[in-house]
């Protein structure tokens, strides 16, 4: 792509500030209302590790616990700590908390809206309202919108990376590309530090900065270098301390991921990646978004879903780059279109190679509507009747696609006077609690007495008899414990798993079992007093 894609002065000047604020307020009202109405967080990741990890980080950790939040116990905890402090601070105001958790989606919509204003040519009718509709369309995609108001949301940690796109475009058009590259690198580095799943998007922005500045090789290389160095520095500033701590204590900075590389002896020397959702063959890989665009499926997610947005966005991105490669002369909006198209294509390709977990597409999915508009703007001749028809088509496409979408709605907590309510049995000091199966139940732990030790004996990291020092530490802790022992288990779906754990460790239920009552989910966890099976 050529350097001539720069915007001409004045052509992409944004509209009046009061009108732009109107759209931001509209987004805020909509997403706050929706988040309030849909309910609180009862998602598997909240139950499994977000709440526990936040609690452990804020309270200074629970040194006696072993893998209480399964393998996710060792994930970077800063965002979880922020969530935990917010949840506890607003514990008596669950409605207010739910509304506030919708606001990041308003900011995300605002960022996409500003990109849409730059992508759509100034000659298009109703350009600003259309950009708002397309932003709303993208941000309400199934990857991101289904987790609104929950700790599973990818929009929250991805918000800095989303904001980086309009910031880069604005600074470049203002003749300050160096500042734009540094700021974009810092913002994308912040998202990457908060969650490593944003590595594909980070790489997408890096590649887009370089390619879209060609053929000015020196300028392209310098701007890409500024972005990369700033991004890496910020990433290390955010999460480097945690990786160093993990490396020093566990032998793997991102334990247990890539344990085939770092080879920590705490767990099996495997890759420890979730490959359940990767395409099964090259044909499926090539047309993967079509597998969930036209019919409900769970190819890329645990729950059934259907959403055409990524298919629309990727096809549109290809059409954008093809059109820009063919057409002369170029318009002021072409650079923004080419930049976003490159980011999304690179991010998607790396996502499919590394993860193929649908939720991790939440940020690229936000630009699906904007890319559809960019493709139409590039292929439709700039005559007023045609542009009106194209604008109307985009609105109809957005409405039809939105109604066609089948969202993978995750579990929500029940209405209650508190954000999180959990009742646990009275346990004697210095008791041990063993997690007998791999159901997500670490959210119960913060409500236990501080002296109680929690052991994840059968989880997605360690199972009875599995390899590694961690398994041996767990066995030693259980067999040497002299105080009361309790077991937590999912008595509805996983009784055989709990039974196998008891047999392996020579334990049995005494018959004294109590249900764990909570508003986070329906009652399915029970706590049973255990005894040695002598």
pLDDT surpasses 90 at 228: yes
- What is the average pLDDT across 473-478? 96
Point out the least confidently predicted range of 272-276, 505-509, 513-517: 272-276
More confident residue, 421 or 8: 421
pLDDT value for 311: 97
pLDDT surpasses 90 at 475: yes
- What is the average pLDDT across 426-441? 95
pLDDT band at 326 (very low <50, low <70, confident <90, very high): confident
- Close Cβ partners of 158 (under 8 Å, ≥ 6 residues apart): 108, 191, 195, 198, 201, 362, 363
Rounded Cα gap, residues 88 and 446, in angstroms: 11
Rounded Cα gap, residues 234 and 191, in angstroms: 9
pLDDT surpasses 90 at 229: yes
What proportion of the chain, given as a percentage, has pLDDT over 70? 96
Q: According to the per-residue pLDDT averaged within each range, which of 158-162, 170-174, 496-500 is highest? A: 158-162
Rounded Cα gap, residues 93 and 417, in angstroms: 7
- What is the average pLDDT across 183-211? 98
Chain mean pLDDT for the chain: 93
* pTM, two decimal places: 0.93
- What is the average pLDDT across 513-523? 93
- Name the residue ranges covered by the structural domains of the chain: 20-404, 422-532
pLDDT value for 18: 61
pLDDT band at 16 (very low <50, low <70, confident <90, very high): low
More confident residue, 6 or 33: 33
pLDDT surpasses 90 at 300: yes
Rounded Cα gap, residues 460 and 473, in angstroms: 16
pLDDT surpasses 50 at 156: yes
Burial of 283 from C-beta contacts in 10 A (0-12 / 13-18 / 19+)? exposed
- What is the average pLDDT across 480-493? 94
503-514 pLDDT, tens digit per residue, is: 999 999 998 999
Q: Which residues pair with 434 in a beta bridge?
A: 455, 487
The first and second tokens of residue 122, run together, are 């100034």
pLDDT value for 329: 52
Burial of 282 from C-beta contacts in 10 A (0-12 / 13-18 / 19+)? exposed
Rounded Cα gap, residues 178 and 188, in angstroms: 15
pLDDT value for 523: 86
pLDDT band at 11 (very low <50, low <70, confident <90, very high): very low
pLDDT value for 271: 87
pLDDT value for 1: 42
Alpha carbon separation from 452 to 168, 263, 486 (Å, rounded): 50, 31, 10
354-385 pLDDT, tens digit per residue, is: 999 999 999 999 999 999 999 999 998 888 88
């Amino acid at each position: 792509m050529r350097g001539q894609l720069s915007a001409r002065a004045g052509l992409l000047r944004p509209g009046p500030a009061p009108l732009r604020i109107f759209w931001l307020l509209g987004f805020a009202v909509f997403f706050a209302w929706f988040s309030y109405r849909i309910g609180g967080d009862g998602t598997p990741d909240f139950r499994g590790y977000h709440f526990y990890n936040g609690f452990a980080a804020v309270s200074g950790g629970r040194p006696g616990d072993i893998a209480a939040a399964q393998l996710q116990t060792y994930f970077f905890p800063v965002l979880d700590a922020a969530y935990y402090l917010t949840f506890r601070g607003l514990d008596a105001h669950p409605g207010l908390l739910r509304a506030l958790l919708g606001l990041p989606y308003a900011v995300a919509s605002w960022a996409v809206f500003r990109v849409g204003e730059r992508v759509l040519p100034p000659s298009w009718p109703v350009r600003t309202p259309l950009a708002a509709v397309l932003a709303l369309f993208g941000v309400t995609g199934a990857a991101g919108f289904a987790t609104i108001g929950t700790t599973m949301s990818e929009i929250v940690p991805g918000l800095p990376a989303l904001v980086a796109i309009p910031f880069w475009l604005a600074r470049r058009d203002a003749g300050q590309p160096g500042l734009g590259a540094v700021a974009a690198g810092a913002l994308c580095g912040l998202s990457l530090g908060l969650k490593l799943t944003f590595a594909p998007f980070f790489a997408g922005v890096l590649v887009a900065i370089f390619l879209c500045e060609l053929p000015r090789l020196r300028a392209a290389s310098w701007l890409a270098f500024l972005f990369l160095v700033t991004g890496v520095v910020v990433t290390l500033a955010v999460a480097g301390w945690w990786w160093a701590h993990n490396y020093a204590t566990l032998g793997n900075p991102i334990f247990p991921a890539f344990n085939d590389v770092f080879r920590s002896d705490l767990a099996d020397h495997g890759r420890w990646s979730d490959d359940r959702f990767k395409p099964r063959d090259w044909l499926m890989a090539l047309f993967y978004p079509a597998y969930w665009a036209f019919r409900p499926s769970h190819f890329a997610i645990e729950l059934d879903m259907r959403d055409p947005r990524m298919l629309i966005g990727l096809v549109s991105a290809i059409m954008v780059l093809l059109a820009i490669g063919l057409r002369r002369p170029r318009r002021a909006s072409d650079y923004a279109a080419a930049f976003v198209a490159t980011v999304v294509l690179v991010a998607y390709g790396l996502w499919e190679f590394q993860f193929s977990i649908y939720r991790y597409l939440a940020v690229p999915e936000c630009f699906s509507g904007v890319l559809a508009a960019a493709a139409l703007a590039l292929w439709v001749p700039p005559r007023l009747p045609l542009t009106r028809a194209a604008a109307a088509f985009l609105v109809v496409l957005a409405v039809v696609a939105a109604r066609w979408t089948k969202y993978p709605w995750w579990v929500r907590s029940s209405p209650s006077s508190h954000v999180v309510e959990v009742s646990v049995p009275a346990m004697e000091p210095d008791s041990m609690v063993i997690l007998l199966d791999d159901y997500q139940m670490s959210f119960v732990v913060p409500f236990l007495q501080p002296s109680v030790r929690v052991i994840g004996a059968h989880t997605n990291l360690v199972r009875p008899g599995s390899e590694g020092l961690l398994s041996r530490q767990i066995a030693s802790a259980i067999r040497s414990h002299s105080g009361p022992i309790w077991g937590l288990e999912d008595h509805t779906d996983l009784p055989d798993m709990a039974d196998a754990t008891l047999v392996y460790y020579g334990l049995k239920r005494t018959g004294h079992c109590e249900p764990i009552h909570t508003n986070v989910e329906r009652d399915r966890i029970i706590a049973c007093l255990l005894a040695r099976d002598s």
